[in-house]
Amino acid sequence: MITLEVDGKIVEAKKDDTILSALKRAGIHVPTLCHMEGLPPSGACRLCVVEIDGAPGLTPSCSFPVAEGMKINTRSPRVIQARKTIVELLLANHPDDCLYCARNNHCELQSLAHNLGVRQRRLQGSKAQHDMDVGSPSIIRDPDKCILCGRCVRVCEEVQGVAAIDFAERGAATFISTAFNTGLNLSSCINCGQCVVVCPTGALTENSSVEEVAAALTDPDCFVVAQHAPAVSVTLAEEFDIKTGTDVDGAMVAALRRIGFDRVFDTSFTADLTIMEEGSELVHRIKNGGALPMLTSCSPGWIKFVEEFYPEFMPNLSTCKSPQQMMGAIIKSFFAQREALNPARIVSVSIMPCTAKKFECSRPEMTQNHVPDVDYVLTTRELGELLRRYGIDLAAMEPETADTPFGERSTAGKIFGASGGVMEAAVRSAHFLLTGREIPELKIQPLRGMQGCKELRVNIDGIELGAAVVSGLGNARKLLDEIRNGRDDLHFIEVMTCPGGCINGGGQPLNADIEAVKKRMKALYAIDSKEQLRVSHQNKWVQKLYDEFLGEPLGETSHRLLHTHYAKRDVLL
């Protein structure tokens, strides 16, 4: 450790620290718009400048290393004026529509202007004029609100390995664009929404369905049904300033009923159903020489990634629909028959942590007789907006349980929200499907945690299974390249598009750091540890669904409703 003097106080730092990382660890806030934790510094925004004794000018703290005895001033008049000028320059080329912007009160530029005392427009200039990109079912792009921080470009390329967007032109004409400046819907974008999460302004937002859902809730001819994903109940609390990691499942169900949903179902139920189908598919492939390793199909951004960049692995993808689409399919078949409802009258709304789910529900494969399995997807953020519009105080709601027949779920289905959860649930049931006995230890520690890559070797009655879990498509790319180059020791691979899984999805509450994501994950595993029903194959309502309607896993009815296919996509480079 070395010592620094910061604003007149002694601070300890590690020898390999940058000034910014040392200050952050010491609890000293320095503003930045371009810095991304875990990635090399870009030094693009210059907001993090500090004054160092003996240095001729101001120094960007994100990229400058610490040194023993260094004297740093983070709030001198010169530093404050430099930061204020940068914000004023950004505002000179920024729209004045804060009241109407989706990021109002969640905009980092707005917060900086407030904190630095920018109260009037001191600088004037011609503003950039770009067309909005509204073609994607998942993401809206408004280049006029872009401040060129580069965070979206970096997360798309360096974390997700997609590189759908980049800087175009030069100098004052620079803007962020897709290849040939086409719409996101024509690009290699996989709709994950990680760019939305890191964007500091309203330049990138989800393609909202709040108005359509609100209209359906007031239409007497519509029977409006909601399903909520496993990760949503442990993240929605943040939208209402409730402690991070709090499970608000019961309060959320009550709130959804209060605003007019006719039924509220838990997508964790069809996560259990997915395990039955996907586990049976894995066993069938192992016993009958099918394409291995089998790749999970729950994450729609991952599916599009394979279709675009690794089409040779499409036979390895599980044919199972995602839990969202399975729930949509059985709502408009089994549930519609049971309740004597016309499927065309049902408005099926799914509440997801994911912007790519909006793309998924719009896929032509996800329909039955031209009726979509799911009509609208709301992100966790959009649900927060909808509930606030109706005056709901989530903390004051008396908890209620989800509706049957799709309300009961195992905790195996619930942990789908965390990276490794799908694999853990699958191993628990695969052991039973292969041996007829329950696995001795339900908690599978090697599959838990925030690591981008995790592996497991398990012997089930002499069958040696190799399993891998990856989150973040940059990590998935590395693993697929290993398999492409000859690696053959894996049988089953879980891939989640977003780092850490759905708890860190592109539709989750904004401004969450890694510690908040860890708390969300911890909350899911806490639910798993304290409940009784912890394996998917023991879910009695899933068993009843097979007895009354589906027949058996991989059977004709289940295959027609719960399975699908994919096709190679051409990538516009």
Q: Are 521 and 500 in contact, with CB atoms under 8 Å apart?
A: yes
In this structure, is the dihedral angle defined by the CA atoms of residues 166, 169, 174 and 175, taken in order, positive or negative?
negative
| Nearest alpha-carbon partner for 503 in 530, 484, 521, 488 | 521
Q: Which residues are catalytic?
A: 278, 281, 298, 318, 357, 360, 365, 502
E strands of 135-291, at which residues?
Answer: 139-141, 165-168, 175-178, 204-206, 223-228, 263-266
| Residue type at position 486 | G
Any residues with CB less than 8 A from the CB of 157 and at least 6 apart, and which?
Answer: 163, 166
DSSP run (H or E) holding 155: none
Q: Are 506 and 354 in contact, with CB atoms under 8 Å apart?
A: yes
Count CB-CB contacts under 10 A for residue 565: 8
Q: Are 403 and 259 in contact, with CB atoms under 8 Å apart?
A: no
- Ordered alpha helix ranges (H), 289-420: 300-309, 323-330, 336-338, 356-361, 380-389, 411-414
Q: CA end-to-end span of the chain, whole Å?
A: 47
Q: ω into residue 405 within 30 of 0, thus cis?
A: yes
Query: What CA–CA distance (Å, rounded) separates 463 from 548?
Result: 33
